[in-house]
């Protein structure tokens, strides 16, 4: 694995390599040029290439178990240096390059030169390495945002709590960055019009268009939502006379209806991190260096990795809570609403059936009951007289039997 860093050495503003004596003669400090500092710092290197060329020089040597080549271009009062290092692995190669750079910069060369790193292979390596972790962090954060906002607001998730200015900014960004070919693919895939395709693009890409700065503004700036307004209106309509409330009730209401950030609404209970804004600010600073390919050394990598681990852990825990608890609660709520609706529909069906039975009874059964009542009234005297005759006959029969028994007993 080969890596190369390039440097430009400008003369120190308060020192000149060429000095004049009192008699006017020029004194040149030969040993204090870039080659002199390299040869003293790394004495094992040897000259290669055309030794007669006084403006371009090359030196080679094995340093820290890596093969190293120094190439110097001397142009007027400016010196250009390339350090090429080859090792068994990228990590070993960069480690060797870091040590060489550190020793060269600490060799005293900065007493005579101001160094500029024109190509920073060290930063390139650590930027590429941390980019994978930043990538993972932002994708995890984006997943959490999608989960929570769609869970709470459905397809209107990007309208619910977001300021109109931020909505407009992100919509404009999506419209400007979505190519005609991408829009055509959406139209074909979903069989929709151009306007509907734009709406689908917003649904799919909204949180993908956020920078970390947008995320910070979106999550942490207190705001007043339409939901808050509706809840406040319901509270005021229920308590038209606030003087009837106790001091504690008023304080609770005031605290509840104070503008909140979305972090307080949805995340603070799930992600117990102190100084969350400082954490995100620091990650943003490192991310900006990485995104714009600026200085980013091993110390920056270690610090940024630690911050990312801390934030990533909290995000993943919050996502797990959302998927294990909030999803279940949402389904339970949906089932309750469905059962409540079913019970209401069943009651309505029951009422309809009872009413229908009542109507049928009134139309068919009631006339029969009324007719039976009339028949009973008509035949009741006959039935009563018949009962009397039967009763008299039974009495006569009983008297006859009793008389017969008495006669038998006398004999």
| The two structure tokens encoding residue 18 | 């060429």
Contacts of 187 (CB under 8 A, 6+ apart): 193, 194, 196, 197
Identify the band that residue 362 occupies on the pLDDT scale cut at 50, 70 and 90: low
In sign, the C-alpha dihedral spanning 184, 187, 188, 189 is: positive
pLDDT of residue 43: 93
Closest CA to 129 of 285, 300, 281, 5: 300
Contact of 31 with 142, CB cutoff 8 Å: no
Flag whether pLDDT at 227 surpasses 70: no
In a 3-state reduction of DSSP, which class is residue 132? Answer: helix
Contact of 155 with 163, CB cutoff 8 Å: no
Contact of 130 with 304, CB cutoff 8 Å: yes
E-only strand ranges, 236-373: none
Higher-confidence position of 320 and 232: 320
Torsion from C-alpha of 224, 226, 229, 234, nearest 10 degrees: -150
Closest CA to 107 of 61, 38, 47: 38
Identify the band that residue 179 occupies on the pLDDT scale cut at 50, 70 and 90: confident
* 2-119 is classed CATH 3.40.50: no
Separation between Cα atoms, residue 337 and residue 343, nearest integer Å: 10
What average pLDDT does range 140-168 have in this prediction? 82
pTM above 0.85, yes or no: no
| The two structure tokens encoding residue 135 | 């990538």
Domain boundaries, the chain: 2-119, 122-153+272-376
Range 281-294 burial, b when 16+ CB lie within 10 A, else e = ebbbebbebbeeee
Q: Could you give the percent of the chain with pLDDT greater than 70?
A: 76
- Say which DSSP state 17 is in: S
- Say which DSSP state 263 is in: I
């Amino acid at each position: 694995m080969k890596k190369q860093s390039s440097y430009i050495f400008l003369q120190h503003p308060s020192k000149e390599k060429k000095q004049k004596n009192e008699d006017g003669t020029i004194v040149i400090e030969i040993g204090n040029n870039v080659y002199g500092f390299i040869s003293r710092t790394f004495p094992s290197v040897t000259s290669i290439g055309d030794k007669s060329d006084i403006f371009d020089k090359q030196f080679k040597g094995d340093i820290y178990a890596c093969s190293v080549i120094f190439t110097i271009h001397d142009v007027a009062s400016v010196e250009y240096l390339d350090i090429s290092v080859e090792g068994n692995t990228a990590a070993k190669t960069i480690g060797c390059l870091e040590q060489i750079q550190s020793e060269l910069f600490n060799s005293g060369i900065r007493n005579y030169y101001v160094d500029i790193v024109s190509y920073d292979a060290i930063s390139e390596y650590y930027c590429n390495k941390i980019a994978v972790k930043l990538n993972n962090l932002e994708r995890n954060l984006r997943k959490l945002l999608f989960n929570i906002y769609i869970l709470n607001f459905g397809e209107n998730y990007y309208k619910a709590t977001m300021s109109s200015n931020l909505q407009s900014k992100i919509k404009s960004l999506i419209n400007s960055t979505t190519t005609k070919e991408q829009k055509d693919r959406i139209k074909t895939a979903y069989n929709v019009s151009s306007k509907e395709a734009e709406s689908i693009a917003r649904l799919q890409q909204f949180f993908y268009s956020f920078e970390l700065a947008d995320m910070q503004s979106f999550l942490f700036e207190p705001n007043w939502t339409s939901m808050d307004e509706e809840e406040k209106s319901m509270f005021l309509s229920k308590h038209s006379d606030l003087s009837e409330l106790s001091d504690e009730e008023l304080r609770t209401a005031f605290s509840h209806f104070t503008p909140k950030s979305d972090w307080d609404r949805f995340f603070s209970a799930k992600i117990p991190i102190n100084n969350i804004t400082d954490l995100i600010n620091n990650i943003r600073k490192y991310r900006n260096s990485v995104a714009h390919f600026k200085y980013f050394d091993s110390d920056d990598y270690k610090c940024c990795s630690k911050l990312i681990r801390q934030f990533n852990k909290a995000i993943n825990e919050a996502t797990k809570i959302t998927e294990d608890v909030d999803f279940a609660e949402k389904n339970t709520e949906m089932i309750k609403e469905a059962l409540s609706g079913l019970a209401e529909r069943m009651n309505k069906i029951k009422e309809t059936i009872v009413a229908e039975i009542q109507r049928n009874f009134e139309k068919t059964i009631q006339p029969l009951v009324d007719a039976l009542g009339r028949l009973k009234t008509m035949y009741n005297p006959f039935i009563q007289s018949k009962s009397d005759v039967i009763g008299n006959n039974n009495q006569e029969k009983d008297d006859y039997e009793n008389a017969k028994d008495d006669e038998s007993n006398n004999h």
